[in-house]
């Protein structure tokens, strides 16, 4: 009892006498650079973050305590180097021990030869670019007015030295290469190449040196090590130091969408749904969104004390219901597209927050949705709303319907594909929907004349951007007639769609309510394994091993299946088995090969086992057996998985919401990145 009382005191203490501050920086216009490098999204990022902090955050942010430096935002200061330094100086004067500071950087990033190369693993400094960025000065070896990672670290340490906890979010990129296969006007990269700043190529070559271990990847822009007496620190980065990150019109498919940083939008989508999660849980959700929505081919990084609750707050559950205002025109709630709502969605009207779904008073269809609010009208059906509603009614999200269709944008000029289009549509079936070039889509087909295969049809992400073309699917056209091209391209897209849908379903189901611990272990051999920490993406080289560790903490058996989605969209089934109560599983799964390298994902499916039932085996999801295994039985989850694999029934994932009173199944997703060895 004493231990519990002490814990409660520690949890409640920070909220009694603390202040919450924020510094939001958004640099869009760069007068010293060619206008092709100007951005549109940082101002919108800052508006989004400011509104969230001052209206929805789980801890209170007074508007006067939120400093905004952004061009294009009314009343904001200029995001110049001097302005940023002054903003930090103001916060450093004001914060006290136990206070919390949120920092947000949206704008361009770049790299330059390090002023202190001995302190940089790759010999380069990471730069955030204020709006008054200047050119490279060869005489002193610096970029005018650049905010260098070392200075950012010192500014943050100044806040932490006062005892403040700091969360810093960087929606910018530093390096990397990208192929723009489809010219989309709404997609811009938050990266300025060093040569655009006048940095000589030879200076970059001299500065750069090979990483000692390819598993190490890039660096975080500054050291996050804690020192005695300093506040805690967490940093979220939109991209590794060797990657680029985009901005595009978001939310996808919604009227009124506007340019936003993909990372900022994804992060605040998670916060809107799960505001009292730990930083590690938030990072995992962001990674899941990236994997399922294919918004960017980037791997965000999450550093620091990821076990702490966001905003130094207290833990809480996901938010799936909101208090409604009821008027003559219907219902309105303080939740919108940022919370995942869309026009046409049906919400249940609940008398109290604790009522079960079955006790719904009626239902409301959403008729208008913007970023932070939505309006709806009552559904006139089998359960009409009572004439008089109790005070404080809520609207609750119900159902788990998933759209397993995949939209594919056609290239603007591809005669071979046009000739094969009719055959392609027949072979692809109804779940692949083709739209004209330039429309929003999950995938973009493109012809890349400067690529290694200029005659091929390349399959790019929805942004039209790709990194190394070696990992991008393509189908040659010169050696195929129309029927052959249609068949092969349909098979390629179908294979990709099945892998994408498996990830979609994993994101919708989540870990579930089963008390089963699952950990991923990686390393060069079975005697040298390291546990993968939450929200981290391990980098694995060929011949590295992957092991799984699972423990059933429940008083009933569960079935465990392990699947692996490769960078080539293959799906492998590595294990199926039953864990009795208290059982542990430690199993080596596979070694990393060198045929295809890139972003890969482990899918662990855990389902309650029924008495006397056979072990649930999801091997039918392997790509080479999807077309032949249709007569399986099993749980509702396996039925939904079959539908994700383009089964021809009319089932949907909504069946997962049927509650039989027992624990619900879960899908745990773990991301990996495979890279070349030394």
Q: What is the mean pLDDT of each run of 10 residues along the chain (678 residues)?
A: 31 58 96 89 96 96 97 95 97 96 93 64 76 82 86 94 96 59 61 74 54 55 65 90 77 82 94 93 86 72 90 89 93 93 92 89 94 93 84 85 83 91 92 88 88 88 74 86 92 87 78 84 87 77 85 92 82 89 87 70 86 85 43 49 51 35 66 69
Question: Are 560 and 602 within one domain?
Answer: yes
Number of helices (H), then strands (E), belonging to the chain: the values are 10, 37
Question: How many other CB atoms are there within 10 angstroms of residue 284's CB atom?
Answer: 24
The DSSP letter of residue 587 is E
Question: Are 281 and 331 within one domain?
Answer: no
Sequence length of the chain is 678
Is the CB of residue 444 less than 8 Å from the CB of residue 462?
A: yes
Question: Are 386 and 336 within one domain?
Answer: yes
Q: Is 374 within the bounds of a domain?
A: yes
Q: Is 670 within the bounds of a domain?
A: yes
Question: Are 430 and 379 within one domain?
Answer: no
Domain boundary among 478, 500, 522: 500
How confident is the model at residue 63, as a pLDDT?
Answer: 97
Number of domains in the chain: 4
Full residue range of the structural domain in which residue 263 is found = 17-312
How confident is the model at residue 357, as a pLDDT?
Answer: 86
Question: How many other CB atoms are there within 10 angstroms of residue 415's CB atom?
Answer: 9
Question: Are 484 and 520 within one domain?
Answer: no
Question: Are 542 and 617 within one domain?
Answer: yes
| 3-state SS record for 601-637 | EEEEEEEECCCCCCCCCCHHHCHHHCCCCCCCCCCHH
Q: Is 3 within the bounds of a domain?
A: no
Domain boundary among 440, 470, 500: 500
- C-alpha distances (whole Å) from 647 to each of 209, 498, 590, 628 are 50, 10, 29, 11
Question: Are 420 and 526 within one domain?
Answer: no
Question: Are 551 and 573 within one domain?
Answer: yes
Question: How many other CB atoms are there within 10 angstroms of residue 610's CB atom?
Answer: 14
Question: Are 427 and 557 within one domain?
Answer: no
Domain boundary among 500, 529, 551: 500
Q: Is 642 within the bounds of a domain?
A: yes
Please give the distance of CA 444 from its chain centroid, rounded to a whole number.
Answer: 20
- C-alpha distances (whole Å) from 585 to each of 464, 616, 617, 637 are 42, 16, 16, 22
Question: Are 490 and 632 within one domain?
Answer: no
Which contiguous run of DSSP H or E holds residue 52?
Answer: helix 41-55
Q: Is 656 within the bounds of a domain?
A: yes
The DSSP letter of residue 613 is P
Q: Which two tokens stand for residue 481?
A: 């007639």
Query: In sequence order, what are the beta bridge partners of 4?
Result: none
How confident is the model at residue 409, as a pLDDT?
Answer: 92
- C-alpha distances (whole Å) from 391 to each of 25, 88, 388 are 41, 45, 9
How confident is the model at residue 637, as a pLDDT?
Answer: 59
| Burial class of residue 365, CB neighbours in 10 A (0-12, 13-18, 19+) | middle
Q: Under DSSP, is residue 379 helix (H, G, I), strand (E, B) or coil?
A: coil
Q: Could you tell me the CATH number of the domain that includes residue 547?
A: 2.60.40.10
Question: Are 427 and 559 within one domain?
Answer: no
Q: Is 317 within the bounds of a domain?
A: no
Closest CA to 645 of 575, 573, 545: 573
Q: Could you tell me the CATH number of the domain that includes residue 246?
A: 3.40.50.1460
Q: Is 9 within the bounds of a domain?
A: no
How confident is the model at residue 84, as a pLDDT?
Answer: 97
Question: Are 32 and 158 within one domain?
Answer: yes
Cα 123 from Cα 137, distance rounded (Å): 18
Cα 481 from Cα 660, distance rounded (Å): 53
């Amino acid at each position: 009892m004493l231990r519990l009382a002490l814990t409660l005191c520690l949890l409640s203490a920070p909220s009694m006498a603390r202040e919450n501050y924020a510094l939001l920086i958004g640099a869009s216009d760069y007068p010293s650079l060619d206008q092709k490098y100007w951005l549109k999204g940082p101002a919108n990022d800052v508006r989004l973050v400011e509104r969230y902090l001052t209206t929805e955050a789980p801890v209170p942010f007074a508007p006067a305590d939120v400093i905004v430096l952004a061009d294009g935002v009314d009343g904001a200061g200029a995001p110049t180097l001097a302005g940023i330094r002054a903003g930090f100086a103001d916060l450093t004067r004001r914060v006290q021990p136990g206070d919390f500071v949120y920092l947000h950087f949206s704008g361009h990033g770049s790299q330059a030869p390090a002023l202190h190369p001995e302190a940089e693993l790759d010999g380069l400094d990471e730069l955030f670019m204020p709006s008054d960025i200047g050119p490279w000065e060869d005489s002193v070896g610096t970029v005018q007015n650049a905010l260098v990672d070392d200075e950012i670290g010192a500014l943050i340490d100044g806040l932490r030295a006062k005892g403040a906890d700091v969360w810093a979010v960087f929606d910018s990129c530093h390096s990397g290469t990208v192929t723009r296969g489809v010219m989309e006007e709404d997609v811009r990269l938050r990266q300025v190449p060093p040569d655009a700043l006048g940095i000589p190529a030879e200076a970059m070559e001299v500065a750069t040196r090979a990483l000692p271990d390819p598993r190490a990847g890039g660096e975080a822009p500054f050291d996050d090590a804690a020192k005695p007496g300093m506040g805690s620190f967490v940093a979220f980065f939109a991209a590794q130091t060797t990657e680029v990150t985009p901005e595009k019109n978001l939310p996808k498919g919604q009227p009124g969408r506007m340019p936003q940083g993909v990372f900022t939008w994804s992060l605040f989508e998670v916060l809107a749904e799960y505001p009292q999660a730990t930083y590690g849980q938030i990072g995992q959700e962001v990674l899941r969104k990236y994997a399922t929505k294919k918004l960017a081919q980037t791997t965000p990084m999450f550093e620091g004390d990821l076990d702490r609750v966001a905003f130094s707050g207290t833990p809480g559950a996901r938010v799936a219901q909101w208090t409604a205002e009821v008027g003559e025109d219907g219902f309105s709630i303080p939740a919108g597209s940022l919370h995942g709502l869309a026009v046409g969605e049906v919400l249940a009207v609940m008398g109290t927050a604790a009522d079960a779904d079955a006790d719904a008073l009626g239902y409301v269809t959403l008729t208008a949705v913007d970023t932070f609010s939505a309006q709806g009208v009552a559904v006139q059906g089998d359960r009409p709303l009572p004439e008089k509603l109790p005070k404080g009614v809520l609207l609750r999200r119900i159902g788990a319907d998933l759209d397993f269709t995949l939209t594919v944008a056609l290239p603007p000029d591809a005669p071979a594909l046009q000739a094969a289009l009719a055959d392609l549509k027949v072979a692809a079936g109804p779940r692949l929907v083709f739209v004209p070039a330039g429309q929003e889509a999950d995938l973009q087909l493109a012809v890349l004349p400067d690529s290694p295969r200029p005659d091929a049809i390349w399959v790019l992400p929805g942004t039209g951007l790709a990194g190394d073309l070696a990992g991008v699917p393509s189908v040659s056209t010169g050696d195929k007639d129309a029927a052959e091209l249609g068949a092969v391209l349909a098979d390629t897209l179908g294979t990709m769609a099945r892998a994408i849908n498996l990830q979609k379903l994993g994101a919708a189901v989540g870990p579930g309510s089963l008390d089963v611990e699952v950990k991923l272990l990686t390393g060069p051999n079975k005697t040298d394994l390291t546990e993968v920490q939450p929200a981290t993406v391990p980098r694995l080289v060929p011949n590295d091993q992957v092991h799984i560790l699972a423990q059933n903490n429940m008083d009933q058996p569960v079935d465990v299946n392990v699947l692996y989605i490769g960078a080539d969209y293959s799906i492998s089934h590595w294990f199926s088995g039953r864990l009795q109560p208290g059982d542990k599983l430690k199993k080596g799964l596979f070694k990393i090969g060198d045929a295809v390298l890139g972003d890969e994902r482990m899918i662990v499916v855990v389902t309650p086992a029924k008495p006397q039932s056979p072990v649930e085996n999801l091997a039918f999801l392997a790509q080479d057996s999807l077309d032949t295994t249709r007569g399986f039985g099993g749980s509702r989850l396996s039925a939904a998985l079959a539908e994700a694999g383009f089964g021809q029934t009319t089932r949907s994932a909504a069946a997962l919401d049927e509650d039989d009173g027992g624990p619900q199944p879960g899908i745990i997703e773990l991301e990996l990145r495979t890279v070349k060895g030394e």
